[in-house]
Amino acid sequence: MYYGEYLKLSQLLSSQSPRSAEIGSPVHDETLFIIVHQAYELWFKQILHELDSIVGLFNADQLSQADLGLVLSRLDRIIKIQKILIDQIEILETMTPMDFLEFRDLLSPASGFQSVQFKLIENKLGLLPESRVKIGNQDYKHHLKPADQAAIKTAEAEKSLFTLVEKWLERTPFLNIEGFHFWESYREAVNKMLAADVERIKSHPTMSPQGISGSLEQYKRIESSYNSLFDAGAYDKLIASGERRLSQKATRAALFILLYRDEPVLQLPHTFLRQLVDIDHNLVSWRNRHALMVFRMIGRKIGTGASSGHEYLKNTVERHYIFQDLTNLSSFIIARSALPKLPTDLRSQLGFYYTDE
C-alpha cells in the first residue's frame, strides 16, 4: 500500500474547485471556505458512522452491559468530534465579511441548509420533521435534490436514537418491585422541598411583593410539572401540548437512574443519559456559534438558501432540541440526603456480580 493511494488523496485533493477561479477572477479566501466545509462533511460522515452503529446496537431486542460500554465509547467519540466542529468556526472567521462578499453571490442558491449529512444526523438522533423551523413555509426537504430527499425520507422512516432510548428506558427493570413504594416516598420528599422553597420565597428579605408573587406563580408551574410525573392524564396533556416528548414511563425510569446513579448497575446508564444531553448541548452550541458567525459575516441579510439568515438560525437554536426532556429532569432532582432508602433486596440487585457464566 502507498500512503496517497490508501487515502485516495488524488481524488480528495483535487476536489477543491473555487467558482471564482472558474469564472477567471480567483478570490484567495474561497479555498478556505471550501476546505472548511469539506472538513465538516468528513466529520459528519464519521458521526453518522458512529450513530448508525449505536442505533444498530439499540435495535437489538436486548442491550447487554458490554454493548452499552461500546455505545458509551462511540458517543464519547461523537462528543469529541462535536467540540472540534464548534472550534473550527474560528478558522473560517479569519475570513472578513468583505472578502466573503467577493465570492458569496457565486454560491447562490446553494447553502449549508442543503447539507444532507447534517440533516441525517439530526434525524437519526431524533429531531422530528414537524419540530423543524420552516423556510418559506415549506417542508425542509423541498430545498433538496430528489436523490437527497429520498435519503432523508428513508432516515425519517427509521427508528431514531430518541425512540430507541425511550423504549430502552421503558424496559428498565427494578421500578416495580413488590412492597417498594418508591414514588410515594419520592413525592413526599419533593413536597417537603417545594414547601421549604415556597416559605423561603414568601419570607425573602429583599424581594418586592410583585417579585414574590411572580416567583410563587413560577413555583405553581414547577409543582404541576412534578405532579405530571404521578398523574398519567396530566402528563398526556403535556405531551399533547408539545411540552414533553418522552413518555411518562421512560421519564420516570430516567429519573430513577439519575437519582440512584451511585448504585453500581446504574452508573453506565447514567453516563449514557448524560452523554445524550451533552450531544444535544453541543449541537445547540454549534448552532449558536454558527448563527453568531453568520451575523458577523452577513449581518441581517437573507441567506443564500433564502431563509431569513441569522433570524432563522437563532430560531433553530431555540427549537431544535432533541433530548430536552432529559435535561429537564434536573427540575425533579432532590438532595441526596432526602432520597428514599432503597430496600435491601433491590440494593443488592443493583450491585455488581461476578459469575462463572
What minimum distance in Å lies between the beta carbon of 303 and ligand HEM? 2
Shortest separation between residue 145's beta carbon and ligand HEM, angstroms: 16
Q: What is the closest distance, in whole angstroms, from the C-beta atom of residue 109 to ligand HEM in the complex?
A: 8
Task: Give the nearest distance from C-beta 99 to ligand HEM in angstroms.
Answer: 10
Task: List, as own/partner pairs, every contact residues 39-43 make where C-beta atoms lie below 8 angstroms and the sequence separation is at least 24, other chains included.
Answer: 39/88, 40/85, 40/88, 40/115, 41/115, 41/117, 43/81, 43/84, 43/85
Applying the rule CB under 6 A, the residues between 107 and 146 that interact with ligand HEM are: 111-113, 115, 118
From the CA atom positions of the chain, what is the Rg in Å? 25
Going from the C-alpha of 131 to that of each of 63, 111, 316, 320, the distances in angstroms are 29, 21, 10, 7
Q: Which is nearer to ligand HEM, 67 or 102 (CB)?
A: 102
Site size toward ligand HEM, by CB under 6 A: 23
Which residue intervals of the chain are DSSP H helices? 3-6, 9-13, 19-22, 30-59, 65-92, 97-107, 116-125, 146-157, 161-170, 182-202, 209-227, 232-240, 248-259, 264-298, 310-319, 324-328, 344-349
Q: Does 194 bind ligand HEM (CB under 6 A)?
A: no
Q: How far is the CB of 224 from ligand HEM (least distance, A)?
A: 32
Q: Which residue number, 40 or 226, has a Cβ lying nearer to ligand HEM? A: 40
Please, what is the minimum distance in Å from the beta carbon of residue 246 to ligand HEM?
Answer: 22
Binding residue for ligand HEM (CB under 6 A) from 71, 92, 169, 266?
92
Collect contacts of 175-181 with beta carbons under 8 A, ≥24 apart: 175/252, 175/253, 175/256, 177/343, 177/345, 177/346, 179/343, 180/342, 180/343, 180/346
Stretch that binds ligand HEM, among 220-228, 277-285, 304-312, 325-333 (CB under 6 A): 304-312
User: Can you tell me which of 313, 322, 326, 346 binds ligand HEM, judged by CB under 6 A?
Assistant: 313
Query: 204-212: long-range contacts (C-beta < 8 A, 24 or more apart)?
Result: none
- Look at the block and give the residue holding cell 417498594: 180
Among residues 36, 212, 329, 334, the one that binds ligand HEM under rule CB under 6 A = 36
CB closer to ligand HEM, 88 vs 349: 88
- In the bound state with ligand HEM, the residue whose beta carbon lies nearer, of 153 and 192, is 153
How many CA atoms, within 13 angstroms, populate the side-chain half-sphere of residue 53? Answer: 16
Which of these ranges, 72-80, 169-177, 183-191, 299-307, lies near ligand HEM under the rule CB under 6 A?
299-307
* Contacts of ligand HEM in 39-58 (CB under 6 A): 40
58 vs 312, beta carbon nearer ligand HEM: 312
Residues 208-247 that bind ligand HEM (CB under 6 A): none
CB of 297 to ligand HEM, least distance (A): 4
CA distance 95 to 179: 66
Contact stretch for ligand HEM (CB under 6 A) within 257-265, 277-285, 294-302, 335-343: 294-302
C-alpha span between 36 and 89 (Å, rounded) = 8
Residues in the chain: 357
CA 32 to chain centre: 29
Site for ligand HEM, rule CB under 6 A: 36-37, 40, 92, 100, 111-113, 115, 118, 290, 294, 297-298, 303-307, 309, 312-313, 316
